[in-house]
């Protein structure tokens, strides 16, 4: 997940931010519609990929935040 899943989400985010900027700048409707459709498909694909990724971890809920250890006493 760390490489491809995050990369897909970054690409999707950049594309949808560009879409918002293009809509604010009154680009042609055909461009806005096609990028909206493509962005939605890409978002669904990215979420599906992240959820189905074969990611294993040894961490448990009791580990909580690594940068702020919790006293277990």
32-41 mean pLDDT: 92
User: Residue 55 contacts by C-beta under 8 Å, 6 or more apart in sequence?
Assistant: 1
Q: Which two tokens stand for residue 46?
A: 């990215």
More reliable by pLDDT, 34 or 51: 34
Q: Is the pLDDT of residue 40 over 50?
A: yes
d(CA 12, CA 72): 41
Average pLDDT over residues 25-48: 92
Q: Which two tokens stand for residue 29?
A: 């409707």
Q: pLDDT (tens digit, 9 = 90+) per residue, 9-36? A: 899 999 989 999 999 999 999 999 999 9
């Amino acid at each position: 997940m760390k490489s491809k899943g995050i990369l897909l989400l970054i690409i999707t985010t950049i594309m949808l931010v560009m879409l918002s900027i293009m809509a604010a700048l009154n680009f042609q409707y055909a461009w806005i519609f096609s990028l909206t459709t493509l962005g939605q498909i890409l978002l669904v694909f990215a979420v599906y990929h992240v959820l189905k990724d074969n990611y294993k971890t040894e961490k448990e809920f009791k580990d909580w935040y690594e940068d702020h250890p919790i006293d277990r006493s």
